[in-house]
Structure 1
Amino acid sequence: MRMRATLGVVTGALALSALAVPAAQADEVEGDTAISNVVVNGGKAAVVGATAKKTITVSFTVKDNSGVDWAQAILYHGANIDSSDSGAVANSSDGRATCTVVNSTTSNCKSTFDLEPGYNLINKVVGGWKVWAIAAGNDADYVQKDNAKSFQVQRASKLTVNASPEPVTKGKTITVTGKLTRANWESGTYSGYATQSVKLQFRKKSSSTYSTVKTIKTNSRGDLKTTVTASQDGYFRYSFAGTSTTPAVNATGDFVDVR
């Protein structure tokens, strides 16, 4: 197995070093060792806020006819692990996964990882991440996968709404304002999300279902503003469908009393 001493994955304060990582970027297999069933964060995108770190779990299955000796996973952002610009090693003391024996040939392995704003998360590394994984059998067979699984890391979103005046006379104009923001991992705050399509929706007082009234776009600061004609009592909200970098979010409905 071709091995090297260090992995240079650096973003801000992050430096992953002294890891036993094969030098080759392409997948490698020696013998019958196999990695399968890789699941990251329960199959959901990892949504991270502006300041608090998020711990996610990566699980996978390893098989080898001689039994499983050890396994390890590393998270990274980039075309491949050698050219990555951020990453995370497992929270275990040696960086390896905890593997539970299923039978003489199979083990289920698991690791947790921390994604932390300002440390291994800055705004430019939002989006697609990958899992690099390696596992070895008791007979020294091994498998190394440069991209055992792809997953999304997203900047958490917030959305507000305010419909006024309240109350309002039927037939008069209602102004609906709001703001779409998302986590800024560098400033530790929520910043406006510009030029995004957002739906204005309405729910009758007697209903539990929202219907779309119109679609507008946020301005350069993430602000929303539009007008509608007052017709009946009900709730207005803004609804954002999300993007690959930012999750969907609905504002809490704002009730308007129409008289």
Structure 2
Amino acid sequence: MSCLPSSLYQPLDLKGSAVLLTGATAGIGEATAWRFAELRCHLALCGRRTERLEALKKALCERFPDLPEPIAVTLDVQDTEKIAKLPEQLKAAGMAAVDILINNAGLALGVASAIENELSNIQTMLATNVTAVMHLVATFGPQMRERGKGHIVNISSVAGHEAYQGGSAYCATKHAVNAFTIASRHDLAGTPIRVTAISPGMVETDFSKVRFGDESKAAKVYENIIPLVAEDIADQIVYVTTRPRHVQIADIISYATNQGHAKYVIERQGESMGAGN
């Protein structure tokens, strides 16, 4: 997937476009911030870790001196009150409207079976992966419709297409994201707003560290294979958002070359753990 200039096909120039990105402090979110900064977009970077947001903002400005100054917003997407206030917060910081909304924040917690799921983990995954996505779309979608311009990109997972052992709650949240994305596309089909899901397979980020709560267990997920990296998914996000406005990419499903399913990657000795992002 490439966005190199072509004399045969003209991609969309996003220079100056307002991009709201959640989960910007690491992994796919951070890689995506760099790509949109390269395109000279006006970025609103959301994440829970203020110091990392400020460090990313500084690094982007140093690398791209002509970049519109990014807006750093400390935000836990589980905080519905802060999401509701976000449009006014961005407006006060110089971003009157959002052109591209990238719902990237998400997580998996553990690999418990369906009958062993902990309620707190279920609630956290639902609030982060599902409720926040719906809330952000409901918050910024109306202004997109009023302006006749906008693109909603929801970061889903191959786990939203294929369920697997040890992933009942997480897979359920990503299936919900996919269903919501499809329904949103139907709802907005009569408007210029585009709606896309990005469904990665195994990506080596902090995702597995969060899921297992153990760096050594997380490292084993990627043993003997070459996984996708955050930059691969950032490239897909840039690709879908730079297609001409009459082109709507519904979903991109991608796997590491060693991966053929959300869970099963290669033959291993002993227990095989879920590896899908």
Q: TM-score with structure 1 length normalisation?
A: 0.26
Q: Could you say which structure has the larger radius of gyration?
A: 1
Q: TM-score with structure 2 length normalisation?
A: 0.25
Of Structure 1 and Structure 2, which has the larger fraction of its residues in strand? Answer: 1
Higher RCO (CA 8 Å, separation ≥ 6 residues) = 2
Of Structure 1 and Structure 2, which has the larger fraction of its residues in helix? Answer: 2
